[in-house]
Chains A and B, each alone.
Chain A
Amino acid sequence: MSAPTPKKMDVTIHVNGEARTASIEPRTLLVHFLRDELELTGTHVGCDTSQCGACTVHLDGNAVKSCTVFAVQAQGRQVTTIEGIGKVGDLHAIQTGFWEEHGLQCGFCTPGMIMSSHELLKHTPNPTEHEIRHALEGNFCRCTGYHNIVRAVQHAANAMSGTQAPAAADD
């Protein structure tokens, strides 16, 4: 017997400030909507158990793992991806922190790390080392040993509190 052909649904999601509409299967995960429908490939897939955090994005300003959210659940809501945080030549302070402190090697986990760090710094502008490590518990990095990631977040916190209150791109 063959499985029935899944019906498609129209969904409109505000991604990085722009309304994006697509016709998708209801089972489509937000991460696949972003990657496959919108070609926003900065959000990565690193596991199939919501453990690694490579797919972390912001949904209405809160960090979520986009592999645990159906795209249809984001209907009408605001999604920010790494592409909406900052661009080459116009980097967010957290991106600058990762660059300055060598907070990445292969770069695959980095977008998720930045999105999770963003959430931390929104609520805790001057985190302790322990708070940073705790906040990144949901994000695997296999390259850096987390050492320079912690430094990167500290760098960003210093930069952001040194100038102005963290004005997050997606808030």
Chain B
Amino acid sequence: MTKLPDSNYHAPTGPQKYMGKAIKRVEDPRFITGTGSYTDDINVHGQLHAAMLRSPYAHAKIGNIDASAALALPGVHAVLTGEDMKDVGSIPTGWLLPGLVVPHHAAIARGEVNYVGDIVAVVIADTRAIAEDAVALIDVDLDPLAAVSLGSQALADGAPLVHDEAPGNVAFQWEIGDAAATEAGFAQADRVVKLKLRNHRLVPNAIEPRASLAEYRAASDEYTLHTTSQNPHIHRLLLAAFVLGIPEQKLRVISPDVGGGFGSKIFQYAEEVIVLFAAKKLRRPIKWAARRSEAFVTDAQGRDHESEAEIALKNDGSFLALRVRTLANLGAYLTTFAPAVPTYLYGTLLNGVYKFPAIHAHVTGIFTNTVPVDAYRGAGRPEATYLLERIVSKAANELGLDPSEVRRRNFIQPQDFPYQTPVALVYDSGNYEPALDKALGMVGYQDLLKEQAEGRASGRKYIGIGFSTYVEACGLAPSALVGQLGAQAGQWESSVVRVMPTGKVEVLTGSHSHGQGHETTFAQLVAEELQIPMEDVTIVHGDTGKMPFGWGTYGSRSAAVGGSALKMALGKIKAKATRIAAHLLEAAPEDVEQVDGTFRVKGVPEGGKSFFDVSLMAHLAHNIPAEMEPGLEEQYMYDPKNFVYPFGTHVAVVEVDADTGKVKLRQYVAVDDCGPLMNPLIVEGQVHGGIAQGYGQAVLEETVYDDDGNLLSGNFMEYAMPRAEDMVQIQVDHTVTPSPHNPLGVKGIGESGTISSTAAVANAVVNALEAFGINHLDMPYTPEKVWQAIQGAKRDMPQAADD
């Protein structure tokens, strides 16, 4: 059988034992033996189950609710409606833009429902099956209202109004860049290339559906919430301060093993509010676990832009200006990060890796009667990359230049960093050409061009080669800056390093792992820095009862921000341990070094002190420096200096079957630069998965609403997810350009695959279709859509290549 090619790992140079090594994950044994503990695996004594009655209408007035039949069903304990929770606060948004309209968002709707899936009532019963039976027995009068599901339609005159407080369905108007300078750029242009495109809506679909289990202890007035969260402290903060008014110290939020997030488990959801409320009201633990079909109508969805872009060019392909207008569909309510995604995570990335003298972007945020939209893997950056990389490839095509050459001519050069873009960001470091060169070599570009030309000439084979040379912004920071931009959150991260008397180490991190492997990479960092075996290190995350605080994992921030917090805390541990060792060795701290784990006086190999000796003495405190605090535990709250900017080049090669419209992925090359690789195995796993998700958007996945706001793609039978046979072997490599913005030099890799791959695959498909005179087609490239496009092009151009 064919073995997949080995990855091109970049082993670290120097004496490093753990960092940079492809060490297999320490968390895996529990997952491969089925002994992980996900939220729905946890059951507690006396637990009841909640099931939701969800609106079948996208927009309706709620009339009388008769729950008598449901309440009469044996095993039913309660039916809750919006009236029962009328004193509970609105589910807040965590990012405020100037002039933002924030509609009230009740956990259980009152008066009106605003999307299919909005919660109308909740049944609490002995079992989930009984609760679901009882939901069907609730008699509710819903009076349907006109609804709207597409952003541009919601802006049209006379469109149905989603919220009375948002006239014209506008949530915000936002712009960035210099309109006058952009206009001047267009005035100088040899050529203007225009592109109108839709970035369609996606469902995140972590394979573990969301679940929550709430407990309340009346004696101490304390709550515990187990929930599927990427950031339990954010959940606690929002629930305590904004929604339920629980004293924050009385609410413990625990996220145990979490089965994927991709953004969808960042946000504050109604169900978590409901189970906490019900647990106190009924004095019983309450569990809710989503059915997949519920996840489709309640987990925040992603993307959904309608955009018009124009690029001003010189004939040599150099860029003069970029102008973008985007309508961003936000769905029915503003969830936690919703206003930030199409603005600060999108508009600021429209510069990409190029030298643009001027850019101007305008974004309209729009309410519709659909599931709320928020961050989905990449969040804003895939939308920016897709738009920019599509219009750059379209421009290359119109200029008759090679798409890789147009990119190369416009790259920001290594000596230009730090680089100020026209859309607010200052890039930290970059070297874009080596990544492009490496990708071109790996994909065999010249041979492919030859094969493509021969295939087109024969009219038998349509190969497409698609490029995406991307940059992303990770590790949103610093907190003061994001605060100025509207964030109602800090963007620092915490780490506590707790050394036991025996020299074993427990690390508490505010980052959260839902598949990213922190238990391994963070332990590698500890083992490296303290020169102790990895087996002596335990990483603890996901529990507000243990961590001092944390903002969690999203936006590829764990290594750059959480890892840096850990690195800084370890520095404090090392300093104190060295002082204790020096004291024991009767030497000055500056004369003590750690060699193979042993503290010794420089140049004196014998008579050293082990990490255990030092840890034990730190705790016994029988003989430590005068005035020194006993113990060996340090904490660091790390607020980064700035964002970090991973980049790279992805190349997709597809073959389009002109007779059926089927797009087949043939080859995929990814060259990413995320700075130093902490663990290449994990980095490459992140890249692989991200690419599959981005490919999914380009070719398979689509969230379809009809004009009345009904979700037509509401389960896995109607929404095409990438399966094993859709994917091919992915060729991955890296360049390494450290970031000066954090002590590890790392940049983040969790989203780059998704950010880059949609554009690469889209460009590849359109490149194949250029044989038919097609210069753009909106995703997803289903066989039917591609076939129709080819047939249409043939009708328009009877001389098309294959006739």
Contacts and interface: CB of A to CB of B under 8 A. Distances in A.
A110 B689 contact: no
Interface stretch (B258-266, B452-460, B466-474): B258-266
Given A3-B133, A49-B716, A51-B716, A114 B4 contact: no
Nearest to B261: A106
A114 B692 CA distance: 20
A137 B725 contact: yes
B207 interface: yes
A154 B4 CA distance: 9
Interface in A101-145: 102, 104-111, 114, 126-130, 132-134, 136-137, 139-145
Among the interface residues A40, A43, A48, which one has the most CB atoms of the partner chain B within 10 A? Answer: A48
A142 B715 contact: no
Interface string A23-63: 00101000000011001111111111101101000000000
Interface stretch (B382-390, B409-417, B510-518): B510-518
Among the interface residues B29, B689, B729, which one has the most CB atoms of the partner chain A within 10 A? Answer: B689
Contacts of B685: 102, 105, 143-144, 148
Contacts of B73: 2-3
A48 B715 contact: yes
A10 B659 CA distance: 56
Contacts of B289: 45
B40 interface: yes
A86 interface: yes
B292 A107 contact: no
A64 interface: no
B207 A142 contact: yes
A27 B289 CA distance: 19
B715 A141 contact: no
A96 to B, nearest CB: 8
A95 to B, nearest CB: 4
A: contact size bracket: 35 or more
A147 B74 contact: no
A47 B34 contact: no
A146 interface: yes
Contacts of A149: 724
Interface string B671-700: 000000000011011101111110000000
A104 B292 contact: no
B291 A142 contact: no
- 7 A-B pairs with least C-beta separation: A42-B34, A107-B31, A108-B259, A106-B515, A145-B692, A82-B34, A105-B515
Given A107-B32, A107-B515, A145-B730, 18 more contacts: A1-B69, A1-B137, A5-B75, A46-B207, A49-B717, A81-B34, A82-B33, A86-B33, A87-B33, A104-B31, A105-B686, A107-B27, A127-B1, A134-B724, A141-B207, A145-B690, A149-B724, A154-B3
Contacts of B741: none
Interface of B: 1-4, 24-25, 27-38, 40-41, 43, 69, 72-75, 129, 133, 137, 205-209, 257-260, 262, 289, 291-293, 514-517, 681-682, 684-686, 688-693, 715-717, 721-725, 727, 729-730, 753
Contact of A48 (B35, B291, B515, B516): B291
Given A140-B723, A147-B688, A52 B716 contact: yes
A123 B686 CA distance: 31
A151 B206 CA distance: 22
Contact of B292 (A52, A81, A142): A52
B259 A106 contact: yes
B33 A42 contact: yes
15 contacts: A41-B38, A41-B40, A42-B33, A44-B38, A46-B259, A49-B717, A54-B207, A87-B33, A88-B29, A98-B32, A105-B689, A106-B257, A142-B205, A142-B689, A147-B688
Contact of B137 (A3, A43, A95, A100): A3
B258 A47 contact: no
B260 A98 contact: no
Contacts of B258: 106
A44 B716 CA distance: 16
A143 B2 contact: no
B28 A41 contact: no
A102 B31 CA distance: 12
A114 B33 CA distance: 9
Interface of A: 1-3, 5, 25, 27, 35-36, 39-49, 51-52, 54, 81-83, 85-88, 91, 95, 98-100, 102, 104-111, 114, 126-130, 132-134, 136-137, 139-151, 154, 157
Contacts of B729: 129, 147, 150
Contacts of B43: 36, 39
Given A2-B73, A86-B33, A87-B33, A150 B716 contact: no
A107 B259 contact: yes
Contact of A137 (B681, B686, B723): B723
A128 B689 CA distance: 22
A52 B207 contact: yes
Nearest to B292: A47
Contact of B209 (A1, A42, A45): A45
Contacts of A85: 33
Contacts of A2: 69, 72-74, 137
Contact of A5 (B27, B74, B688): B74
Contacts of A83: 33-35
Contacts of B35: 42, 83, 88
B4 A147 contact: yes
Contacts of A140: 207, 716, 721, 723
Among the interface residues A27, A47, A52, A151, which one has the most CB atoms of the partner chain B within 10 A? Answer: A47
A57 to B, nearest CB: 10
B292 A129 contact: no
A106 B33 contact: no
Contacts of B684: 102
A108 B38 contact: yes
Given A49-B716, A106-B515, A129 B2 contact: yes
